[in-house]
Structure 1
Amino acid sequence: MDDFTGIRTFLIAWPLFLLPLAFKGADVQTRQIVTTVVFALAMWAPGIAAIVATKTSGGSLSDLNLKRLGPKRYYLWAWLLFPILSLLTGVVTVLFGIAEFDSAFSMVTASLEALPESAPLSPTMIVAIQIFAAITIAPLFNMLFALGEELGWRGFLLSKLLPLGEWKAIIISNIIWGLWHAPAIIQGHNYPGYPVLGVFMMVAFTVLLGIILSWLYLNTIVLGHQLSRTVLSTPLPVSHSCSFSLVSTSR
């Protein structure tokens, strides 16, 4: 493995993650646009580092397994697994008292009420559209960004670590993946109000999610990551009854 690949990944991504701090004095909309754009660009940092390392070491892009498709059944798993996990997350949080069942989708309703003009659709209809998009159109769009991370974390890093053993490779690569998000977490993303503990929770999240993504990757290619991003961020009919959620949904 190129010893500088990890350094490249962090050097490219972290300045982008920190760039929104330069816009603290700007209005909310401007900060949101800047954050969305630079975070999307940062997702390609692992991919760029992997491509540079592969080419400079005399390899080819095929070494990143872009041409490997794998058995079709794993693509069905990739499409179905995250909607099932998202639903189970909602059920578990309600059963353990972390959240309450909210058939009115109060968070969506509050967001609609904050808009300057009332939306013509009901919160239920909006969520239904989001769910449909999350398992159909959205993963195709997210592929443009998720591919960058998959090239780096699974296509390059996981593959290079496999000689250590499959489980060791999966755990180590996903710990690095979680720590890579640290500048964003410290700024309040994913775990607002918990800048330090949030980093550890993000690592725990990426390890757990990464086990699934690695399993899918080793049998297919990139499909799991973009679907996880869209499905796990789709609103569920629950409202949090505590101030801290153990589930990260933006990555």
Structure 2
Amino acid sequence: MIKLEKNVWYYIGLVFLFTYTIQIIAISITDENSFIPQILVALTMFIPGIAAIIYLIKTKQGLKYIDWHMGKIKYLLLSLILPILITLIGILVFEHTGLASNNVFLINNGQVHSIETPLIFGSDQQGILFFILNFFVTGILFSLPTSFLAIGEEIGWRGFLQKKLLEKNNLFKSLTFLGVLWGFWHFPLIINGFNYPEYPMLGAFLFFPLTVIFVSYFIGWLTINSKSVWPAVFSHGVINSFMILLFEMDFGKNKLEGNFSILGLWVLIGMISFYLISKKTIKNS
């Protein structure tokens, strides 16, 4: 049983009510040339944060409840680097196992060529070490605009709700419940084919919620150790902007297996993250 103050339950309910309403309106707009659905979906990303700020002001807890300071720089850097590293490893592993074709880049004789994604230092043929640097710098810079959009979500999810959950519940319950909420907060979009167009039902009820639970462990590890909301903002931004490269690989007839593999990748990362938080929590208790 999850323990929360009654007002926090109201916060969750209102966040879902407003978000679902706007998402359903966005989905109902059938004009393919209209940018309104994308704008509406982008606006929903600010609802958790706006609601959290209103809550903190009305309850007189103040905005200082959110950990606004930069925290430990190590975790800020990890929040930018690790999602890019996971993406690169995922691409190489999926290609090496024959699960998917890599249509992002090709490697031959120590050279990277056929680079199909724009990179900051150019997409011409280049050495492996230069390509890795190029790939990471591009991932970090490309994530900054999406990190701005992620601010609204992460003020609400990690900055506010994660702290509220941890005040009254253990680590596992808190991060898992937050992951479930975060996953089903996207439900109207996912059930209508967003992210998993070939398998909307599996996407809405299995792939996305489970993936997000384990992503919640990963981002929880970053924020709890850093004592700052910013690693959540930046890691969320990188995941949204750059890990799409995994979904864009050519899985051919293996699309279902590909979705399970991406989920499996996050299960592994999430389990390692949760172990690291649990180990530190036990050590400090």
TM-score interval, normalised by the smaller of the two chains: 0.7 to 0.9
- The amino acid that maps onto 2:157 is W
Which structure has greater helix proportion?
2
Alignment of 1:128-143 (within 5 A): 128-129=119-120, 131=135, 132-136=137-141, 138-143=142-147
Q: Determine the C-alpha separation between the residues in 2 that align with 1:157 and 1:212.
A: 16
Could you tell me the TM-score, scaled by structure 1's length?
0.80
Deviation track 1:158-206 (CA, whole Å, cap 9, x = no partner) reads 1011131222211110111001010000111011132221112111111
**Matching residue within 170, 178, 189 for 2:175:** 170
1:217/1:224 contact within 8 Å kept? no
Q: How far is 1:93 from its partner?
A: 2.3
1:104/1:124 contact within 8 Å kept? yes
* 2:237 corresponds to 1:226: yes
Q: Determine the C-alpha separation between the residues in 2 that align with 1:103 and 1:156.
A: 37
**Matching residue within 161, 164, 174 for 1:160:** 164
Residue 13 of structure 1 is matched in structure 2 by: 19
Structure 2 gap ranges (5+) = 107-112, 124-134, 264-285
Residue 277 of structure 2 is matched in structure 1 by: none
Alignment of 1:67-82 (within 5 A): 68-82=69-83
Residue 180 of structure 1 is matched in structure 2 by: 185
Q: Tell me the matched-pair count.
A: 226
2:87/2:242 contact within 8 Å kept? yes
**Matching residue within 186, 192, 204 for 2:197:** 192
Residue 255 of structure 2 is matched in structure 1 by: 243
Residue 218 of structure 2 is matched in structure 1 by: 212
Residue 113 of structure 1 is matched in structure 2 by: none
Q: Could you tell me the percent identity over the aligned residues?
A: 24
Alignment of 1:14-33 (within 5 A): 14-24=20-30, 26=31, 28-30=32-34, 33=35
2:90/2:246 contact within 8 Å kept? no
**Matching residue within 46, 49, 52 for 2:48:** 46
C-alpha distance 19-133 of structure 1, shift in aligned 2 (>3 A)? farther
Deviation track 1:51-103 (CA, whole Å, cap 9, x = no partner) reads 1222222211111222x321111122112101111012212323444312346
Q: Determine the C-alpha separation between the residues in 2 that align with 1:74 and 1:17.
A: 33
Could you tell me the TM-score, scaled by structure 2's length?
0.72
Residue 111 of structure 1 is matched in structure 2 by: none
- The amino acid that maps onto 1:210 is S
Question: Cα RMSD between the aligned structures?
Answer: 2.5
Structure 1 gap ranges (5+) = 106-121
C-alpha distance 104-18 of structure 1, shift in aligned 2 (>3 A)? same
1:82/1:232 contact within 8 Å kept? yes
C-alpha distance 18-90 of structure 1, shift in aligned 2 (>3 A)? same
1:135/1:230 contact within 8 Å kept? no
Deviation track 1:117-175 (CA, whole Å, cap 9, x = no partner) reads xxxxx972643249544312x33322321011101111111101113122221111011
**Matching residue within 146, 149, 152 for 1:145:** 149
Query: SS at the partner of 2:70?
Result: coil
Residue 91 of structure 1 is matched in structure 2 by: 92
1:99/1:238 contact within 8 Å kept? yes
Q: Determine the C-alpha separation between the residues in 2 that align with 1:238 and 1:173.
A: 29
